[in-house]
């Protein structure tokens, strides 16, 4: 029987990703019961005209003996990561146009946000969603908390990869 982990582990990145996995992180889970082979995420990027867009991508997962003697699990290691920021935005709040302050992953923990990019596309992100923000130049994007509850996310800067 799997039990939900506590989110107070000393290894913050492992704890965050584990908590997301137990809370419905978007993963391709085959019906066969085999481990997922990828984790889906949305990407925000800027084109040559400095207009931001969305695209969809996947992080590959590899079956590893991650925590022996536990069974092997599917993992993806984020390289070049050494910090994280937890942010909280009040329910029903709005942030006007702004670029991302750095290239970073957002792991959504609470609340629902609607993000609109420069080409006009809007997407909603809820707990368990993962977004790679790369729109660090140009007009950027807007962020609206569309839930009554506060929006909470863990922002993990990345310098290479994903």
Asked, for residue 128, whether it belongs to a domain, the answer is: yes
pLDDT at 127 over 90: yes
Asked, for residue 63, whether it belongs to a domain, the answer is: yes
Give per-residue pLDDT as tens, 85-118: 999 999 999 999 999 999 999 999 999 999 999 9
Q: What's the number of domains the chain is made of?
A: 1
- Looking at the whole model, is its pTM more than 0.85? no
Give per-residue pLDDT as tens, 9-66: 334 454 444 444 444 444 445 565 666 789 999 999 999 999 999 999 999 999 999 9
Output the domain CATH number for residue 99: 2.60.120.10
C-beta separation of 47 from 53 below 8 A: yes
Asked, for residue 162, whether it belongs to a domain, the answer is: no
Asked, for residue 45, whether it belongs to a domain, the answer is: yes
Instruction: Name the residue range of residue 53's domain.
Output: 12-29+37-157
Asked, for residue 4, whether it belongs to a domain, the answer is: no
């Amino acid at each position: 029987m799997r039990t939900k982990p506590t989110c107070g582990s000393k290894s913050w990145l492992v704890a965050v990703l584990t908590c997301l996995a137990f809370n419905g992180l978007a993963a391709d889970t085959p019906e066969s019961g085999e481990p997922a082979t990828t984790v889906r995420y949305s990407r925000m990027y800027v084109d040559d005209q400095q207009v931001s867009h969305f695209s969809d991508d996947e992080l590959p997962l590899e079956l590893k003996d991650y925590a022996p003697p536990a069974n092997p699990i599917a993992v993806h290691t984020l390289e070049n990561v050494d910090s994280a920021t937890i942010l909280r935005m009040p329910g029903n709040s709005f942030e006007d146009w702004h670029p991302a302050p750095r290239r970073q992953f957002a792991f959504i923990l609470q609340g629902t946000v609607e993000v609109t990019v420069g080409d006009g596309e809007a997407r909603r992100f809820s707990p368990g969603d993962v977004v790679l923000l790369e729109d660090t130049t140009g007009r950027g994007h807007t962020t609206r908390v569309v839930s009554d509850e506060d929006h909470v996310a863990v922002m993990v800067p990345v310098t290479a990869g994903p």
